[in-house]
Chains A and B, each alone.
Chain A
Amino acid sequence: MITVTDARKTYGDFVALDDVSLEIPAGSLTALLGPSGSGKSTLLRSIAGLEDLDGGNVRIDGEDVTHQPPQHRGIGFVFQHYAAFKHMTVRDNVAFGLTIRRRPKAEVARKVDDLLEIVGLDGFQHRYPAQLSGGQRQRMALARALAVDPQVLLLDEPFGALDAKVRADLRRWLRRLHDEVHVTTVLVTHDQEEALDVADRIAVLNKGRIEQVGDPVSLYERPENDFVMSFLGAVSRLGDRLVRPHDIVLERDHATAASRQAAEGAVGPLVAARVDRVVRLGFEVRIELTADDGERFVAQVTRAEAERRRYTAGEDVVAWALRSEEPVGAGPVA
Chain B
Amino acid sequence: MRTSRRATLALRTLALVYLVGLLAVPIVVILWRTFGEGLGPFLASVRTPAAVSALNLSLLIVAITVPLNVVFGVVTAIALARWRVPFRGVVQAVVDLPFAVSPIVVGVSLIMLWGVGGWFGGLEQSTGIKVIFGLPGMVIATVFVTLPFVVREVEPVLHEIGTEQEQAAATLGASGWQTFWRITLPAIRWGLTYGVVLTVARALGEFGAVIMVSSGFPGVSQTLTLLVHSRYIDDHNTYGAYTAATLLMGLALLTLLGMTLLDRKRTHR
Binding site for B on A (CB under 8 A): 48-50, 69-71, 73, 75-77, 79, 81, 83-87, 96-97, 100-101, 141, 144-145, 147-148
Contact of B168 among A73, A77, A87, A147 (CB under 8 A): A77
Q: Can you report 10 residue pairs joining A to B where beta carbons are below 8 Å apart?
A: A50-B170, A77-B168, A83-B164, A85-B169, A85-B183, A96-B174, A100-B174, A141-B168, A144-B168, A148-B173
Contact A81:B170 (CB < 8 A) given known A87-B186, A100-B178: no
Contact A85 B168 (CB under 8 A): yes
Contact B178 A70 (CB under 8 A): no
Contact of B174 among A71, A73, A87 (CB under 8 A): A71
Report B194-209 residues with CB < 8 Å from chain A CB.
none
Contact A144:B164 (CB < 8 A) given known A85-B183, A87-B186, A87-B187: no
CB-CB under 8 A from A145, the residues of chain B are: 171-172
Q: Does B167 contact A (CB under 8 A)?
A: yes
CB-CB under 8 A from B168, the residues of chain A are: 77, 79, 83, 85, 141, 144
Contact of A77 among B171, B174, B175, B183 (CB under 8 A): B171
CB-CB under 8 A from A48, the residues of chain B are: 171
Contact A83 B172 (CB under 8 A): no
Minimum distance in angstroms from A111 CB to a CB of chain B: 14
Q: Does B165 contact A (CB under 8 A)?
A: yes
CB-CB under 8 A from B171, the residues of chain A are: 48-50, 70-71, 73, 75-77, 145
Contact B167 A77 (CB under 8 A): yes
Alpha-carbon separation in the docked complex, A79 to B164 (Å): 8
Contact A148:B164 (CB < 8 A) given known A85-B183, A86-B187, A100-B178: no
Contact A101 B173 (CB under 8 A): yes
CB-CB under 8 A from B182, the residues of chain A are: 96
Alpha-carbon separation in the docked complex, A75 to B174 (Å): 12
Contact A85:B167 (CB < 8 A) given known A71-B174, A96-B172, A97-B173: no
Per DSSP, are chain B's interface residues mostly helix, strand or loop, or mixed? Answer: helix
Report B117-176 residues with CB < 8 Å from chain A CB.
164-165, 167-175
CB-CB under 8 A from A49, the residues of chain B are: 171
Alpha-carbon separation in the docked complex, A209 to B135 (Å): 65
Contact A96 B169 (CB under 8 A): yes
CB-CB under 8 A from B174, the residues of chain A are: 71, 96, 100
Minimum distance in angstroms from B145 CB to a CB of chain A: 32
- Known A77-B168, A87-B186, A100-B173; further 18 A-B contacts with Cβ < 8 A: A48-B171, A50-B170, A50-B171, A71-B170, A71-B175, A76-B172, A83-B165, A85-B165, A85-B183, A86-B187, A96-B172, A96-B174, A97-B172, A97-B173, A100-B174, A101-B173, A147-B172, A148-B172
Task: Select from chain B the residue with minimum beta-carbon distance to A80.
Answer: B164
Alpha-carbon separation in the docked complex, A83 to B164 (Å): 5
Contact A144:B172 (CB < 8 A) given known A85-B183, A86-B187: yes
CB-CB under 8 A from B183, the residues of chain A are: 85
Alpha-carbon separation in the docked complex, A48 to B172 (Å): 11
Minimum distance in angstroms from B234 CB to a CB of chain A: 51
Alpha-carbon separation in the docked complex, A70 to B165 (Å): 14
CB-CB under 8 A from A73, the residues of chain B are: 171
Contact of B167 among A50, A97, A100, A141 (CB under 8 A): A50
Contact B187 A83 (CB under 8 A): no
Contact A70 B167 (CB under 8 A): yes
CB-CB under 8 A from A79, the residues of chain B are: 164, 167-168
Task: Select from chain A the residue with minimum beta-carbon distance to B164.
Answer: A83
Task: Select from chain B the residue with minimum beta-carbon distance to A96.
Answer: B172
* CB-based closest 6 A-B pairs: A97-B172, A83-B164, A83-B168, A77-B171, A87-B186, A70-B170
CB-CB under 8 A from A97, the residues of chain B are: 172-173
CB-CB under 8 A from B165, the residues of chain A are: 83-86
Alpha-carbon separation in the docked complex, A148 to B182 (Å): 17
Contact A69 B187 (CB under 8 A): no
CB-CB under 8 A from A101, the residues of chain B are: 173
Minimum distance in angstroms from B166 CB to a CB of chain A: 9
CB-CB under 8 A from B167, the residues of chain A are: 50, 70, 77, 79, 83
Minimum distance in angstroms from B30 CB to a CB of chain A: 41
Contact of B164 among A69, A76, A81, A96 (CB under 8 A): A81
Interface string of B25-64 (1 = CB under 8 A from A): 0000000000000000000000000000000000000000
Minimum distance in angstroms from A45 CB to a CB of chain B: 9
Task: Select from chain A the residue with minimum beta-carbon distance to B166.
Answer: A83
CB-CB under 8 A from B169, the residues of chain A are: 85, 96
CB-CB under 8 A from A144, the residues of chain B are: 168, 172
CB-CB under 8 A from A75, the residues of chain B are: 171
Minimum distance in angstroms from A42 CB to a CB of chain B: 14
Alpha-carbon separation in the docked complex, A83 to B173 (Å): 15
Which of A71, A145, A147 has its CB near the most chain B CB atoms (within 10 A)?
A71
CB-CB under 8 A from B186, the residues of chain A are: 87
